[in-house]
């Protein structure tokens, strides 16, 4: 094994064409971080250039050759940077680029951000000559300096010793928290510009990420201040400013400038985005969101589960991974939404749909983590996997705690009643369907009949399939007659 630090040629290809490369279990040499091991990435600005050993890469813990094939290890990537133009606000921006540049390395898969990083190294790359994480560190420094010339000095520390990763992770979390808190006093109406982010368009081409003071990036990696710092240093880059334009809808958070950006960035796929809406023209979601939200039609409420959640099943019977595949891909999916954890702290958190009054379920560890963001009167009304296992139990729970969705949600910001609630639905249904029309079904049923609102109906032609989504549906069928085609 030669000295990897002395190697001038890397034993792997480096090219943007490897961005989005996936390494499956069968091709895996080792996994670093991810679901089973702690991990994080952190960029720190060092104002004193003499305190950076430019180009140096150090490793604390076992290197690739000492790792067991097919196993998982803890992983921390810590980068110290210096540059005359660099300020602390740029730390998060530079940090987010680690995902992009490490994605250029063949046989090295980098996913997610902050304390959720997930890296896989392929057997093929190890066979080709990758011997040390220091080689990855060297290549990463080379890429950062080539792509971001304002970085004058850079030093890397990688850690694979699990105890050390856990210890340093606590420090990193304090730094992430300090960055997040900084933006909480600033609001969308206080600024003239928002910022776009196009970094994830390499794998989600129609994704339109808009970062505003009240809506931190859905990957959680960049807030409005970070994006502003990035735009100042590279105004034509991925974080270019979006002039707000006119406010069309202050509650939904719709601006002419954001709508123009939606058209431009999505290649015409979308022409309107409401920044603070869940169910109507929501923000798009690529694949990096920290938390996935899902509408639960049976209770007319919204549930949330986060990446890395230990909850195997949400009340709709799906884990995070399955929900994530419905949310992602740079799509505007009504009924699903990807967000960053910080958005829970926003006073405009899905305010178009009732904000916290519409939230009916959360994974317990997520609820605990953002507990301070939940209004006092809602804390006991939001179920977790410890309270309910399925929709039926969720309905019972919500009735018991008198959750707003049961009798109708009133939007705090404008006092509008935006949902009818189950009780009103039952009355409406009783008015629409007379007992005579219902026949036997009207007699002596224990469960009340509920309204059957058709929330979405699409018919694009005579022979086209019609898609119906029924909320709170109680369907009763007295008789079914099946006939062959043409039979009378």
Contact 202, 248 (CB under 8 A): no
DSSP letter, residue 183: T
Counting other chains too, the contacts that 7-13 makes at CB distance below 8 Å and 24 or more residues apart are: 7/135, 7/138, 10/135, 10/138, 10/139, 11/125, 11/128, 11/129, 11/130, 11/131, 11/135, 12/105, 12/106, 12/107, 12/108, 12/125, 12/128, 12/129, 12/130, 12/139, 13/105, 13/106
Identify which of 291, 340, 343, 344 has the alpha carbon closest to the alpha carbon of residue 320.
291
In the bound state with ligand SF4, the residue whose beta carbon lies nearer, of 288 and 388, is: 288
Q: How far is the CB of 200 from ligand SF4 (least distance, A)?
A: 3
Query: Should residue 218 be labelled a site residue for ligand SF4 when binding is judged by CB under 6 A?
Result: yes
**Distance between CA atoms of residues 152 and 84, nearest Å:** 8
Question: Per CB under 6 A, which region of 36-44, 212-220, 251-259, 361-369 contacts ligand SF4?
Answer: 212-220
Site string for ligand SF4, 238-277 (x = CB under 6 A): ----------------------------------------
Contact residue for ligand SF4 among 74, 199, 262, 382 (CB under 6 A): 199
How many other C-beta atoms lie within 10 A of the C-beta of residue 143? Answer: 19
In the bound state with ligand SF4, the residue whose beta carbon lies nearer, of 215 and 357, is: 215
Contact residue for ligand SF4 among 30, 67, 154, 209 (CB under 6 A): 209
Q: How far is the CB of 219 from ligand SF4 (least distance, A)?
A: 3
Cα–Cα distances (Å) from 108 to 129, 185, 243, 280, 457, in that order, read 13, 39, 37, 38, 44
Question: Per CB under 6 A, which region of 127-135, 213-221, 269-277, 370-378 contacts ligand SF4?
Answer: 213-221
Question: Per CB under 6 A, which region of 79-87, 196-204, 315-323, 408-416 contacts ligand SF4?
Answer: 196-204
Contact residue for ligand SF4 among 78, 81, 200, 305 (CB under 6 A): 200
Residues sharing a CB contact under 8 Å with residue 332, sequence separation 6 or more, in sequence order = 270, 273, 281, 282, 283, 284
In the bound state with ligand SF4, the residue whose beta carbon lies nearer, of 112 and 122, is: 112
For residue 312, give both structure tokens. 């195997």
Alpha helices in 209-319 (DSSP H): 224-233, 256-265
In the bound state with ligand SF4, the residue whose beta carbon lies nearer, of 291 and 449, is: 291
Contact residue for ligand SF4 among 72, 117, 121, 222 (CB under 6 A): 222
Query: Should residue 228 be labelled a site residue for ligand SF4 when binding is judged by CB under 6 A?
Result: no
Of 48-107, binders to ligand SF4 (CB under 6 A) are 96
* DSSP per position, 229-256: HHHHH-TTSTT-EEE---EEETTTTEEH
**Distance between CA atoms of residues 81 and 46, nearest Å:** 6
SS3 301: strand
Query: Should residue 286 be labelled a site residue for ligand SF4 when binding is judged by CB under 6 A?
Result: yes
Query: Should residue 197 be labelled a site residue for ligand SF4 when binding is judged by CB under 6 A?
Result: yes
Question: Per CB under 6 A, which region of 35-43, 215-223, 256-264, 444-452 contacts ligand SF4?
Answer: 215-223
Contact 298, 358 (CB under 8 A): no
**Distance between CA atoms of residues 196 and 357, nearest Å:** 29
Question: Per CB under 6 A, which region of 12-20, 218-226, 245-253, 449-457 contacts ligand SF4?
Answer: 218-226
Query: Should residue 217 be labelled a site residue for ligand SF4 when binding is judged by CB under 6 A?
Result: yes
Question: Per CB under 6 A, which region of 12-20, 83-91, 103-111, 217-225 contacts ligand SF4?
Answer: 217-225
SS3 17: helix
Query: Should residue 130 be labelled a site residue for ligand SF4 when binding is judged by CB under 6 A?
Result: no
Query: Should residue 219 be labelled a site residue for ligand SF4 when binding is judged by CB under 6 A?
Result: yes
In the bound state with ligand SF4, the residue whose beta carbon lies nearer, of 105 and 222, is: 222
Q: Which residues bind ligand SF4 (CB under 6 A)?
A: 96, 197, 199-200, 209, 217-219, 221-222, 286, 288
């Amino acid at each position: 094994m030669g000295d990897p630090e002395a190697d001038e040629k890397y034993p792997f290809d480096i090219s943007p064409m490897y961005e989005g490369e996936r390494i499956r279990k069968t091709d895996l040499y080792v996994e670093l971080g991810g679901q089973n091991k702690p991990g994080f990435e952190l960029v720190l600005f060092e104002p004193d250039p003499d305190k950076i050993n430019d180009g140096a890469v150090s490793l604390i813990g076992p290197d690739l050759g000492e790792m067991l094939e097919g196993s998982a290890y803890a992983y921390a990537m810590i980068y110290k940077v210096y540059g005359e133009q660099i300020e602390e606000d740029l730390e998060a921006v530079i940090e987010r680029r680690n995902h992009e540049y490490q994605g250029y390395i063949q046989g090295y898969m980098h996913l997610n951000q902050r304390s959720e990083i997930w890296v896989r190294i392929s057997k093929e790359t190890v066979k080709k000559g990758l011997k040390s994480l220091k080689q990855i560190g060297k290549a990463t420094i080379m890429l950062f300096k080539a792509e971001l010339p304002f970085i004058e000095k850079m030093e890397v520390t990688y850690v694979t010793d699990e105890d050390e990763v856990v210890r340093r992770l606590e420090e990193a979390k304090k730094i992430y928290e300090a960055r997040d808190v900084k933006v909480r006093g600033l609001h969308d109406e206080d600024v003239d510009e928002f910022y776009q982010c196009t970094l994830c368009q390499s794998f989600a081409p129609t994704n339109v990420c808009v970062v505003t003071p009240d809506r931190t990036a859905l990957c959680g990696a960049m807030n409005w201040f970070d994006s502003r710092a990035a735009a100042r240093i590279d105004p034509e880059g991925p974080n270019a400013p979006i002039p707000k334009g006119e406010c069309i809808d202050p509650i939904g958070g719709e601006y002419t400038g954001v709508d123009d950006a939606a058209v431009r960035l999505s290649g015409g796929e979308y022409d309107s985005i409401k920044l603070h809406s869940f169910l109507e023209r929501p923000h798009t979601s690529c694949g990096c969101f920290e938390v996935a939200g899902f509408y639960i039609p049976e209770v007319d409420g919204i549930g949330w589960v986060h990446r890395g959640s230990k909850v195997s099943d949400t009340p709709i019977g799906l884990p995070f991974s399955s929900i994530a595949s419905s949310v992602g891909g740079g799509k505007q999916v009504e009924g699903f939404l990807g967000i960053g954890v910080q958005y829970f702290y926003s006073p405009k958190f899905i305010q178009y749909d009732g904000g916290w009054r519409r939230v009916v379920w959360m994974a317990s560890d997520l609820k605990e983590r953002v507990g301070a963001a939940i209004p006092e009167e809602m804390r006991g009304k939001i179920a977790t996997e410890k309270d309910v296992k399925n929709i039926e139990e969720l309905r019972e729970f919500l009735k018991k705690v008198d959750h707003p969705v049961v009798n109708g949600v009133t939007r705090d910001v404008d006092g509008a009643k935006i949902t009818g609630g189950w009780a009103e639905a039952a009355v409406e249904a009783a008015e629409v369907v007379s007992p005579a029309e219902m026949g036997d079904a009207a007699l002596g049923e224990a469960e009340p009949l509920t309204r059957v609102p058709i929330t979405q109906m699409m018919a694009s032609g005579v022979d086209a399939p019609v898609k119906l989504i029924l909320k709170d549906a109680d369907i009763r069928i007295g008789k079914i007659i099946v006939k062959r085609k043409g039979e009378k």
